[in-house]
Structure 1
Amino acid sequence: MLKPTILVTGATGKTGGATIAQLLPMGYPVRALVRQMDHRSEQLRKAGAEIVIGSLEDTTDLRAAMTGVQRAYFCSPLEPGTLRRAALFAAAAQDSRLEVVAALSQWVASDNHPAAHAREKWLSDRMFHLAPGLDVVTINPGFFADNYMAALEPIAHFGLMGMPLGEGLNAPPSNQDIARVIVGALTNPGASANS
């Protein structure tokens, strides 16, 4: 039985790259959507991923990237425009009749969060789940573990951990752990719906 082709966006990033690194040895055909050909995308190509250059902001690019694809991982870059990119991706995924989309969200996504990005993530999550005929698994990790590593120098110098956690608790997942969840959602989506 042929395994479904999986599109990975954010392919040269933290979770996208880790997702590809786990899917390829499992024998899944992977198409990586990248902004440009560079050393990172070349490494993905050498590992066995099909490289497609395009933009999450262009429906023509998205539809072309989804041609022949059955499943996809959506990871919008951490920059303004999250909701717009999610809407374009959801529309292209519906048009392409994808079986399932695993969409990266964030633990603070909320309709009343003070940060516009967190509100856009919440709206993106809602929009994906309301899209007719589109099965979606929302990946909602806490603050990534590698973000703590970025704070090591100030911690060593000042003895303070200047992370925006307030009184909240967070079990920081690694990029590889987040990718394991994404891979599980993409390779066995029925189990994700039942858990």
Structure 2
Amino acid sequence: MTSLFLITGATGKTGAGAATTLLEHGHRVRTLVHRTDERSDRLAVAGAEIVVGDMLDLDAVVQVTTGVDGVYFAYPIRPGLMEASAIMLQAAEENRVGALVNMSQISARRDAVSNSARQHWIAERMLDHFSGAVTHIRPTFFAEWLLTFWDPKSGELRLPFAKAHHAPIAGEDQGRVIAALLEDPQRHAGMTYPLYGPTELDHYQMAEIMTQALGRQITYVPIEIDEFRSQLERRGMGVHQIQHLTNVAVDYRNGIFAGTSDVVRTLTGRDPLTVAAFVERNKQYFDEPAN
């Protein structure tokens, strides 16, 4: 049966994958984007309805959720998550939306030092009051981090993760999971799913995989948190994002991001991408650091 789904953050890594998968499955997709660009243009060509709006604008969110069967709710790492969650909950209730899939994070917990991680935990508890089916997903670090933090000039990955490890998960795999949850919401109502890639690796191992795939030497250089903070400041990141990323770096060292599971295969019928497959698939994007 064809449904209408709203995808927020549709030009991002997970939202684009969810929208594309749902369109391929014959559903109607409405997207809420902050602005139009080449990414939203690609979704429009694929058949998505593009709506420009602000998730902190109650009237806009009520309007965009009208007639929608299910919503993927994803808010970026910036101030406003609590307000955006409350607005989405109110809009979904007013419009009797049937399902919400909420993007949280693996480090979300009551006692998190990261403001963003703690707010995600509180937002989960808020959205648990939704009268429809709500499902939370908690991914570990994305495979796309390798694009974001690789320096193409030096061939270095300078990150504060010591020898700790995680199983990177690609945005496209998460998009397929999100689509599966929206298509069968009652089966997953009340669930919280941690999302991982197939294999736990430390960044020395990831650098070696990148070396093989890209045909040039890639080196992981472990750094301290203060250097990482300075790196983020030079990139122009805001105070909220820097506070989050420096504190989850500590979480990472403490094993919070570690683990594996079969959730992706169970929900989608396909194994998640390995790091080698991700790098091979995205070779063209390693020419320049991601924005």
Deviations 1:145-175 (A, max 9, x none): 11023233289655xx544546754211100
Q: Distance in 2 between matches of 1:149 and 1:43?
A: 21
> Greater strand percent: which structure?
2
Secondary structure in structure 1 of the residue aligned to 2:107:
coil
Q: Distance in 2 between matches of 1:142 and 1:66?
A: 29
Match of 1:148 in 2: 146
- State the structure with more CA Rg: 2
Match of 1:117 in 2: 116
TM-score norm. by structure 1 comes to: 0.89
Q: CA distance change for structure 1 residues 116 and 29 in 2, over 3 Å: closer, same or farther?
A: same
Q: Distance in 2 between matches of 1:150 and 1:106?
A: 18
Deviations 1:19-66 (A, max 9, x none): 111110100100011122332222211110011121100110001101
Where has structure 1 moved over 4 Å in runs of 4 or more? 154-158, 164-168
Match of 2:62 in 1: 63
Match of 1:176 in 2: 172
User: Percentage identity across aligned positions?
Assistant: 34
Query: Are the counterparts in 1 of residues 99 and 133 from structure 2 also a CA contact under 8 Å?
Result: yes
Gaps of 5+ in 1: none
Q: What is the alpha-carbon root mean square deviation over aligned residues?
A: 2.1
Query: Are the counterparts in 2 of residues 128 and 134 from structure 1 also a CA contact under 8 Å?
Result: no
Q: CA distance change for structure 1 residues 64 and 9 in 2, over 3 Å: closer, same or farther?
A: same
Query: Are the counterparts in 1 of residues 134 and 190 from structure 2 also a CA contact under 8 Å?
Result: no
What letter is aligned with 1:15?
T
Secondary structure in structure 1 of the residue aligned to 2:108:
coil
What letter is aligned with 2:139?
P
Gaps of 5+ in 2: 192-291
Q: Distance in 1 between matches of 2:89 and 2:145?
A: 29
Q: CA distance change for structure 1 residues 55 and 148 in 2, over 3 Å: closer, same or farther?
A: same
Number of residue pairs matched?
A: 191
* Match runs of 1:1-195 below 5 Å: 2-129=1-128, 131-153=129-151, 157=155, 161-165=157-161, 169-193=165-189
